[in-house]
Chain A
Amino acid sequence: MNVKLHAPISTAIAIGVGIIVLAGYFIPSVESIRFIFLRTGLVLAAVALLVGIINLISVHIRKLGGGDENSGYSLILLISLLVTLGVGITDMVQTYLFGQPNFRMTNWVFTNIQMPIETSLLAVTAVSLIYAAASILRKRMDINAVIFFFVVLLILLGSVAIPPATIPLLGGIRDWILRVPALGGARGLLLGIALGTITTGIRILMGTDRPYGG
């Protein structure tokens, strides 16, 4: 077997750090070291997120310079990003340097720009979901599609809480579906996800997968 190791130092660091953190879950004497490493991971994840945002800015600056037909949208994105950052940094300076802890302007941006768009996107999803549910039987008429459709229908009808439209029997059926067969399926899914996570994690801890450029 010919294994070519491109980045032995990075691989050794990832394996070493990972084994110490994993040992901290099961060996009480290593727990305090695990917490120090988890704090390190938290700070590094925060810096990585900032790196991601810097990358987003550089990608859109490149789009602006390249004369892309959608460069107008990139300009809008950059303006909204930089204005929000400016507002937030002003609030932070006021809080930490002048001792006036209020994030009024940042909260204003969140309440009046971000939240309306987020909620509206979710609202638009409602219409898309109705369309998808209506077209599922048209596009794929098999036993699983029929079961899916009727479960959706039963749960929606069983969830009606307005008194004249409330049907106690449907409420009972809805509760049973959620408590028994849906719970069984969800447990299977969760266990599958956990097993997949463990497999992927162990591959990284053994150095088989090296998503850090190794």
Chain B
Amino acid sequence: MTTANLLDFIGLALGFLLTILVFSYLLGDNPFFRLAIHIFIGVAAAYVALVTVNNVLIPRLIVPLFQGGSGERLLSILLFIPSLFLIFKVTPLRKAGNWSVAILVGIGAAAAVGGAITGTLFPQILGTINSVDPAAYDVTNNRWNQIINGIIIVLGTLTTLIYFHFGTQDIPGRQDKRLPIIEKISQAGKVFLAITFGALYAGVFLTALAALVERLSFLWDFLNKIGFQLFSSF
């Protein structure tokens, strides 16, 4: 057996063992499952750190510092200062890193607002309007079907949005309650939410089922590889 083959075999055996450890959770929470989870957290954290350094910090901070033009170098040096102060967050001088976090939070908040407006709010509103706009209908499909479907989509969007409206009337001496009309509309919103969550749940289940089939097939293949031909007729 060559070194590469041996390494491949060790990898498969390790994968087999870890799969069994995780599957032991089906019998209830146990030390074997916790062992696998802690290995996973350690490996995943290290892998994320490596990917971050290799794909972000080296190409965007280190390489421009040594190989970039004067502007790139200046920007990299400027970037180094808040980055160094950010590391203070894990030392007793953690307050010194607050201004670096403030830059990150400011940029993050603005990017989230801009992204939500241009990436979600406008496209989703436009999509909802198009579903009841006859000019946007597909001419090859039945017009009435598209009208009815469009009305259902608009109803679903509006009632779901209204379901999340938790504003109440402030009436002295009475328990805060939503307006009766909002309460009634939100019941329809709940129905649409149940349908949406049902669809999402089924989608997640199908993905998980595919993973289960893949893992069982892996276990089967590995057992066959090491000579367990118990079910060779299959």
CB distance from A12 to the nearest CB of B (A): 8
**What bracket does the count of chain B residues touching chain A fall in?**
35 or more
Would A122 and B211 count as touching, CB distance under 8 A?
A: yes
Chain B residues with CB under 8 A of A78: 42
A window 113-148: CB within 8 A of B: 113-127, 129-130, 133, 143-145, 147-148
Would A81 and B194 count as touching, CB distance under 8 A?
A: no
Q: In the complex the two chains form, what is the Cα distance from A89 to B90 in whole Å?
A: 22
A window 38-88: CB within 8 A of B: 38-51, 53-56, 58, 73-74, 76-85, 88
Cβ-defined partner of B46 (8 Å) among A88, A96, A122, A184 = A88
Q: In the complex the two chains form, what is the Cα distance from A79 to B38 in whole Å?
A: 10
B window 125-166: CB within 8 A of A: 125, 127-128, 149, 152-161, 163-164
Would B106 and A204 count as touching, CB distance under 8 A?
A: yes
A112 at the interface (CB under 8 A from B): yes
Bitwise interface map of B from 210 to 234 toward A, beta carbon under 8 Å scored 1, else 0: 0110111010000000000000000
Cβ-defined partner of A185 (8 Å) among B105, B111, B118, B160 = B160
Would B15 and A112 count as touching, CB distance under 8 A?
A: yes
The count of residues in chain A whose C-beta lies closer than 8 Å to any C-beta of chain B is 120
A5 at the interface (CB under 8 A from B): no
Chain A residues with CB under 8 A of B199: 151, 155, 177-178, 182, 186
A167 at the interface (CB under 8 A from B): no
Would A144 and B205 count as touching, CB distance under 8 A?
A: no
A window 161-214: CB within 8 A of B: 176-195, 197-198, 200-202, 204-205, 211-214
- What's the count of A-B pairs with C-beta under 8 Å? 397
Chain B residues with CB under 8 A of A189: 160, 193, 196
With both beta carbons as reference points, the residue of chain A lying nearest to B113 in the complex is identified as A201
Would A22 and B214 count as touching, CB distance under 8 A?
A: no
Chain A residues with CB under 8 A of B111: 21, 38, 41
Q: Which of B93-101, B167-175, B176-184 contacts A (4 or more CB under 8 A)?
A: B93-101
Say whether, besides A41-B108, A124-B22, A187-B156, A7 and B98 are in contact (CB < 8 Å): yes
Chain B residues with CB under 8 A of A121: 22, 40
Chain A residues with CB under 8 A of B204: 125, 129
B window 21-53: CB within 8 A of A: 22-23, 25-26, 34-50, 52-53
Q: In the complex the two chains form, what is the Cα distance from A151 to B216 in whole Å?
A: 28
CB distance from B199 to the nearest CB of A (A): 4
Say whether, besides A177-B199, A198-B117, A205-B106, A184 and B152 are in contact (CB < 8 Å): yes
Say whether, besides A44-B83, A191-B120, A205-B113, A147 and B208 are in contact (CB < 8 Å): no
Cβ-defined partner of A184 (8 Å) among B7, B41, B157, B200 = B157
Say whether, besides A15-B106, A44-B103, A201-B116, A182 and B34 are in contact (CB < 8 Å): no
> 15 pairs across A/B with beta carbons < 8 Å?
A44-B100, A47-B86, A53-B46, A77-B39, A81-B42, A122-B211, A122-B212, A126-B209, A155-B203, A179-B149, A180-B156, A182-B199, A184-B155, A193-B120, A197-B113
